[in-house]
Chains A and B, each alone.
Chain A
Amino acid sequence: MKHTLSVLVENQPGILSKVAGLFSRRGFNIDSLAVGVTEDPTVSRMTIVVDGDEHMVEQVEKQLNKLIQVIKVRVLEPGRFISRELSLVKVSCRTGDRGDVMKIAELMQARIVDVTTSTLTLQFCDTDERTETLLDLLRPYGFKEVVRAGAIAVEKGCH
Chain B
Amino acid sequence: MFVYPKKQHKGVFAVATGAEIMVKCLEKENVRRIFGYPGAAICPFYDCLSASAIKHILVREEQNAAHMASGYARSCGKVGVCVVTSGPGATNLITGIATAYMDSIPLVVITGQVNSWLLGRDVFQEADITGACESFTKHSYLVKDAADLPRIFKEAFHIASTGRPGPVLIDVPTDVQNQPVATWQYPEKANIRGYKPRTQGHALQVKKALAAIAEAERPIICCGGGVVLANARDEMTAFAKKSGIPVCATMMGIGVIPMDSDLYLGMIGMHGRESANLTMQQADLVLLCGARVGDRAVSAPQQIAEKARIIHIDVDPAEIGKNMPVDIPIVGDVRQVLKSLTEGVTDTVPEAWKQKVLDYKNQFPPRGEPREDFVEPRVFIRDLSAMMEDNAILVADVGQNQIWAARNFNVKEGRFLTSGGLGTMGYAIPAAVGAKMAKPHRQVVAVCGDGSFQMAMCELGTLVQTGTDIKIIIMQNGTLGMVKEFQDKLYKGRYIGTILKGGEPDFVKLAESYGIRASFAKNNAAAKEQAAQMLQQDGPYILVCRVDPATPSI
Contact = CB atoms under 8 A, between A and B. Distances in A.
Contact of A25 (B135, B159, B195): B135
B318 A62 contact: yes
B134 A21 contact: yes
B421 interface: no
Interface residues of B, number: 17
Contacts of B321: 55, 58-59
B104 to A, nearest CB: 12
A7 to B, nearest CB: 10
A17 B131 contact: yes
A68 B194 contact: yes
Interface in A1-43: 9-10, 14, 17-18, 21, 25
Contacts of A21: 134-135
Interface in B214-235: none
B192 interface: yes
B371 interface: no
B142 interface: yes
Contacts of A55: 321
Contacts of B135: 21, 25
Contact of B193 (A10, A14, A17, A58): A10
Interface string B137-148: 011001000000
Contacts of B195: 68
Given A67-B194, A68-B159, A68-B194, A14 B130 contact: yes
A75 interface: no
B119 to A, nearest CB: 12
A149 B66 CA distance: 43
A72 B194 contact: yes
Of the candidates B130, B159, B318, the one having the most CB atoms from chain A within 10 angstroms of its own CB is B318
A25 B194 CA distance: 22
Which of A9, A10, A68 has the most B CB atoms < 10 Å from its CB? A68
B258 interface: no
Contact of A69 (B131, B142, B194): B194
A65 B134 contact: no
A63 interface: yes
B316 interface: yes
A10 B191 CA distance: 13
A76 interface: no
Central interface residue in B131, B134, B159, B193, by most chain A CB within 10 Å: B193
26 contacts: A10-B193, A14-B130, A17-B131, A17-B134, A18-B134, A21-B134, A21-B135, A55-B321, A58-B321, A59-B321, A59-B322, A62-B317, A62-B318, A62-B322, A63-B318, A65-B194, A65-B318, A67-B194, A68-B139, A68-B159, A68-B192, A68-B194, A69-B194, A70-B194, A71-B193, A72-B194
Given A14-B142, A68-B194, 13 more contacts: A10-B193, A17-B131, A18-B134, A21-B135, A59-B322, A62-B317, A65-B194, A65-B318, A66-B316, A67-B194, A68-B138, A68-B139, A69-B194
Interface of B: 130-131, 134-135, 138-139, 142, 159, 192-195, 316-318, 321-322
Interface of A: 9-10, 14, 17-18, 21, 25, 55, 58-59, 62-63, 65-72
